[in-house]
Amino acid sequence: MTELRVAIIGGSGIYRQSFIENSKEITLDTRFGKAALKEGIYQDRTVFFMARHGGGHTVPPHLVNYRANIAALKALEVDAIIATAAVGSLRREISPGTRVIIDQFIDFTKQRPLTFYEGEEGFVVHTDFSEPYCNEVRAAILKAGKSLGQNVIDGGCYICTEGPRFETPAEIRMFMNWGANVVGMTSVPETILAREAGLCYATIALPTNYAAGISTDPLTQDEVLAAMEKEIPEVEELLKASITEIKSSPACYCREAGKNYPGE
């Protein structure tokens, strides 16, 4: 048994990680449905890899079974999760090729199950989101990115839309006024569920394009995937270095936040 268990949730364009050794495919049955992932080793750490949209990118953002995915990682006793997320940039200075280690989100989703706490516990659970992403995992990614000379930005607000359509320019103007920096379709409820389950979680937001209206060209999924394709080698380096930077006894309150997690 290795000391630290880290999971990577790969977003659009990130469907596998070649550095994970002795990897085997596993499927877990959770009370929310099945979750498929790979388990292997990187250095002295047990590493899991999960493709959020499925290996062949078949699951749209509003239909990802976020609860099954996080419940599976909890059942596997994962300590920390590093997620990647393709995003549109709302700011000229956040160009494609930067990595935004987001620290806030705004929830603009409409119809997704958002919680593990559906009242079955017999009490109401309100979870603190003053620090929505784990600062310890964020710090590990930032340190790793800086040591690799990558363009990592410390903090940013991610607005999560329902998708799967891209936004209108009017929505983007409103999101900019609200203080959002990047837009994507998946960080909610993934972030929420990880915290409710007591798992440390952070996201590397990867801008693939300027958002609608900032870019005057129509947006396409192919453009997003082509931009991600170029990033894969560097993102893989960043993930490897981040995994080794994660501490085994973090000073965050993520575990404590999950003390009411209902379990399987």
Binding site for ligand HPA (CB under 6 A): 86-88, 166-167, 183-185, 208-209, 211, 219, 224
- Residue whose CB is less far from ligand HPA, 159 or 257: 159
d(CA 205, CA 209): 12
- The CB-nearest residue to ligand HPA is 88
CB nearer ligand HPA, residue 146 or residue 165: 165
DSSP characters for 17-63? Answer: -TT-EEEEEEEEEETTEEEEEEEEEETTEEEEEEETTTTTT-S-GGG
User: CB of 182: closest distance to ligand HPA in angstroms?
Assistant: 8
Question: How many helical (H) and strand (E) elements, i.e. helices and strands, does the chain have?
Answer: 6, 11
Report, in Å, the least distance between residue 86 CB and ligand HPA.
4
Q: Toward ligand HPA, which CB reaches closer, 12 or 30? A: 12
User: Between residues 215 and 260, which has the closer beta carbon with respect to ligand HPA?
Assistant: 215
C-beta of 140 vs 211, nearer to ligand HPA = 211
CB of 190 to ligand HPA, least distance (A): 14
Q: Establish how many alpha carbons lie within 13 A of residue 34's alpha carbon, considering only the half-sphere containing its beta carbon.
A: 5
> Using alpha carbons only, what angle is made at residue 238 by residues 233 and 244, rounded to the nearest 5 degrees?
130
d(CA 41, CA 2) in angstroms, rounded, equals: 9
CB of 4: closest distance to ligand HPA in angstroms?
Answer: 30
CB 179 within 8 A of CB 58: no
**CA separation for the pair 98, 28 (Å, rounded):** 34
Q: How far is the CB of 174 from ligand HPA (least distance, A)?
A: 14
Tell the smallest beta-carbon distance from residue 163 to ligand HPA (Å).
7
Choice between 42 and 158, CB closer to ligand HPA: 158
Q: Which two tokens stand for residue 205?
A: 């937001």
